[in-house]
Amino acid sequence: QVQLVESGGGLARPGGSLRLSCAASGRMPSFSTMGWYRRAPGQLRELVATTRSGDLNYGESVKGRFTISRDNAKNTVYLQMNSLKPEDTAVYYCNVHTLGGIDYWGQGTQVTVSS
């Protein structure tokens, strides 16, 4: 139904910035939540940020540094990441969560923060 493709990952220096994009295609149910999750090696998946109907939710470790936004005309969600830290290194996944509890996931994009 829904296909998600992430882009924009790569290598950044500590204190630097990256901007991730997630383009959605296919049938998108109304009032779905879109967001970003990440998983570092050897760790559990954790919330980065979600958005629905203008409401924003951020993981505690990224508050004040990351910003989630949407372009409805392009069916795209973005994640602006500033003041990056080495602990932000992870695979970042785009997610759509429907009101019926169905999840759709992108393939993931690698973010590495290192000097």
27-85 confidence digits (pLDDT tens): 888 888 999 999 999 999 999 999 998 899 999 999 999 999 998 888 899 999 999 99
What's the rounded mean pLDDT across residues 83-94? 98
**Rounded to an integer, what distance in angstroms lies between the CA atom of residue 96 and that of residue 71?**
15
Residues 6+ apart with CB under 8 A from 82: 17, 65, 66, 67
Q: Which residues pair with 22 in a beta bridge?
A: 6, 77
Query: Quick one: pLDDT at residue 29?
Result: 81
Query: Quick one: pLDDT at residue 9?
Result: 98
Query: Quick one: pLDDT at residue 12?
Result: 98
Do 56 and 40 form a contact (C-beta atoms < 8 A)?
Answer: no
